[in-house]
Amino acid sequence: MMRQYELLERVSGYIKNPDEALLNKAYVYAMRKHGEQTRASGDPYFSHPLEVAAILTELRLDEETIAVALLHDTIEDTDATRKEIDELFGERIGQLVEGLTKLKRLDLVSKKAEQAENLRRLLLAISGDIRVLLVKLADRLHNMRTLHHVKPHKRGRIATETMEIYAPLAGRMGMQDLRDELEQLAFMYINPEAYETITGHLSELAEKNKDLIDEISQNLVSRLKKEKISAKVASRQKKAYSIFRKMESKALSLEQLSDIYGFRVIVNDVEGCYRTLGVVHTNWSVVPGRFKDFISTPKQNNYQSIHTTIVGPSRQRVELQIRTQEMHEIAEYGVAAHAVYKDSKGKKRESLSENSAYASLRKTIEQLAEGDNPEEFLEHTKLELFLDQVFCFTPKGRIIALPKGATPIDFAYAVHTDVGNSCVGCKVNGKIMPVITQLKNGDEVEIIRSEAQTPPSAWESVVATGKARSSIRRASRQAIRKQYAGLGTRILERAFERAGKSYSSEILKAALPRLARESMEDTLADVGRGDITTPDVLKAAYPETREEKPEAVKPKREEGWFGLKSAAGMMFRIPGSRSKPEKKVKIDHTIPIRGVGSDVPVRFSREGGAVPGDRIIGILEPGEGITIYPIQSVALEKYDNEPERWLDVRWEIEEDNPERFPARIKILATNAPGTLAIIAEVIASNDGNIQNLNMNVPVEDFTEMEIELDVWDLKHLTRIIKQIGSKSVTNKVERVTG
């Protein structure tokens, strides 16, 4: 445990003539108040506030903040009072200690409203004085360093809380080293297996590449010295959590990561930064798209540095950060680099309130605190406070904060869910722009609305916010349900008409109890999906009706139609492949496709058809029936804005089914005698059936063929394509899906 004189020595190392009386009094008072209290580790409780104070001396903070660190648990955990602290240490220190005392534990497994209220208290206390946050972060860092002494069932909650709340707050204040350590410690408890795996891999790499790192460092120093640039070069290895986050976001394996090592180059002035950049880019190859100049355009938290990535010796990608010593201190300590010091006369040298990162945080907190209910406050806080942000405006001047990469769709949902659901277009800074435009700081966004709009499901992959994504998903589900209900209505109307019975919503409503359904819409949707058969509905509506099996009518192939049976067991028509009248194929079975209603005409798309094995989608064509497309068909793009027309269907075919299905392939082959014969022989030998052939000669040496053929299923088609592609006359072969 640190001694009293050791604490004074630490502070004296960066403050000339510190207030020793204040620090001594706080040390003795806190030690006496905590008395015989102990921590979970068995250590004296006073060791905790003392370690918090020690962390703050590493951040070079003022005497008042160190005193608050020593006292921060006295009101909450001892018999000390605010009045007593005011009398002994002054009202300002008393206010800071009380501010910390009021912060209740943020319990991420508690109710959202309670969690949000506790978070609100923390943020409001921070907005009063940034030193509340600095002490709180140091407090959390020491707690995380000693988390192994806490009971196992509490570790996960505390680690998650640290990862979601405190680490992002440290990052927002530019305190990157502190954030890295908090994330690393939290990661160790949240995902111990991944932590152990990555840490072990990093240790092996460090040993393996030790000579390489030394070589790069010496090479850098040597080349800069040659150009008369005085510089300090230090190597660094990425943290385990940083690597894990990159692996997740980019779907990479550990072996695929090539930029694990980085180097910091610290020079004397800004001019030296750009001269260093010139030397680096002149001597090594630059990785495209990996250059950022945060000196000319600082980050919101005042961070300044030049980032670039080069290809070093052994083809190893190496990240470089180039900055001045002053920039380095801000990068290391963030807002703490602007600590309030006093000279020997007690005059403040610099105020934390002058720091732009803190000013930005205060402004955001003020916006968050206005008018939201607790749940919305929590959701908006994580959106606005803990992500890289862009700030946009409504036409009336309201500020909407969104994560980087957000679109006008995200903006609309941030304003209100109804605004997002009815969004059909937007104006950005007065100009009509696509709704997928990425917004920038300061943009004014006006949403164009239509009450007839349903958000396209494709928007879900475009938006950047969880709120927008969940709202779009919910609206799409409702639209699909409505579409199934409409399909179910048409099926029942035709079924009742065929049975000679009258149909109305009142008749169906009266039959709901016998169908074990509670609502009309649920029942109609189930009929549309094939979950309820029309005979069951008829029997429920008219119990005296005798069930009659419909006579199966065998369709003629030459008419271009063949039988299709739904999951409900009913017959309807579907166009077959485009067979010529003289080529008749015997049909012994119907082909069930699950998910399609019973009395609706169904056909395959003309853009390449579909074969069993394909994932398929049904598109409802008003007045015509349903068209089946393979999921990869580009023809589906024209329906992206009409999710209500999409049906989820799938194959259900017996193994002995004798039916073929239409497909189309495109071949680029050598323009030489016998080429067509070789390709036709492959198709024939694999039991394929050519229905149509188109050929053209795009250039003199090659022929482009488009062949329509009948195949049994996707495996059959894939085998034919693979064997055609293996022939020496073939340059390229691919399936055409639209």
Q: What is the mean pLDDT of residues 616-626?
A: 77
**Among 565-579, 654-668, 690-704, which range has the highest average pLDDT?**
690-704
Q: What region, left, alpha or beta, does residue 48 occupy, with left being phi > 0 and alpha being psi -120 to 50 degrees?
A: alpha
CA 472/CA 31 separation, integer angstroms: 57
Same domain, 44 and 126: yes
In a domain, 433, yes or no: no
Q: What is the mean pLDDT of residues 194-209?
A: 84
pLDDT at position 110: 44
487: closest CA among 628, 610, 574, 595? 595
pLDDT at position 182: 94
**Mean pLDDT lowest among 267-276, 282-291, 499-508, 637-646:** 637-646
Buried b (16+ CB within 10 A) or exposed e, 174-194: bbbebbbbbbbbbbbbbbeeb
Arithmetic mean of pLDDT over the chain: 78
- State residue 88 phi and psi, 5-degree precision: -85, -35
pLDDT score of 590 more than 80: no
pLDDT score of 9 more than 80: yes
Strand pairing report for 561-565 and 591-594:
parallel
pLDDT at position 560: 32
Same domain, 685 and 640: no
Strands, DSSP E only, in 12-116?
A: none
pLDDT score of 455 more than 70: yes
Quote the tokens at residue 700: 């003199």
Q: What is the mean pLDDT of residues 242-253?
A: 76
Choosing from 195, 212, 231, the residue where a domain stops is: 195
CA 243/CA 231 separation, integer angstroms: 28
472 against 645, higher pLDDT: 472
pLDDT at position 114: 57
Q: Which domain holds residue 613?
A: 557-651
pLDDT at position 377: 55
pLDDT score of 570 more than 60: no
pLDDT score of 300 more than 70: no
In a domain, 280, yes or no: yes
Same domain, 201 and 189: no
What is the full DSSP assignment across 116-146? HHHHHHHHHHHHH-HHHHHHHHHHHHHHHHT
pLDDT at position 189: 93
| Locus of tokens 């946009």 | 392
Element (H, E) at 423: strand 423-428
pLDDT in tens, 91-137: 889 888 887 775 444 444 444 555 566 666 666 667 677 788 889 89
Same domain, 642 and 686: no
Helix 152-161 × helix 176-190 angle, to 10°: 140
| Locus of tokens 């508690």 | 110
The band of 566, judged by pLDDT with boundaries at 50, 70 and 90, is very low
The band of 639, judged by pLDDT with boundaries at 50, 70 and 90, is confident
Same domain, 718 and 678: yes
Q: Tell me which residues are annotated as active site.
A: 76-77
Choosing from 513, 541, 569, the residue where a domain stops is: 541
pLDDT score of 360 more than 60: no
Virtual CA dihedral for 104, 106, 111, 112, nearest 10 degrees? 110
Same domain, 119 and 54: yes
Domain count, the chain: 5
How many other CB atoms are found less than 10 A from the CB of residue 430? 9
pLDDT in tens, 363-380: 555 545 544 445 545 555
The band of 338, judged by pLDDT with boundaries at 50, 70 and 90, is low
pLDDT in tens, 12-71: 988 888 899 999 999 999 999 998 899 888 889 999 999 999 999 988 888 999 999 999
The band of 528, judged by pLDDT with boundaries at 50, 70 and 90, is confident
In a domain, 214, yes or no: yes
Distances (CA, A) of 536 to 51, 169, 344, 542, 545: 74, 60, 93, 10, 10
Asked if 97 and 65 count as a contact pair (C-beta separation under 8 A), the reply is no
**Mean pLDDT lowest among 295-299, 592-596, 626-630:** 592-596
The DSSP output letter for 704 is E
Choosing from 314, 337, 360, the residue where a domain stops is: 337
- State residue 389 phi and psi, 5-degree precision: -120, 160
Q: Give percent of the chain with pLDDT exceeding 90.
A: 21
- Quick one: the chain helix, strand, coil %, rounded to 5? 50, 20, 35
Same domain, 223 and 147: no
pLDDT at position 159: 92
Q: Considering just the CA atoms, what is the radius of gyration of the chain in Å? A: 35
pLDDT at position 371: 43
pLDDT at position 724: 92
CATH number at residue 67: 1.10.3210.10
Burial of 487 (0-12, 13-18, 19+ CB in 10 A): buried
129: closest CA among 43, 199, 193, 61? 61
CA 332/CA 567 separation, integer angstroms: 65
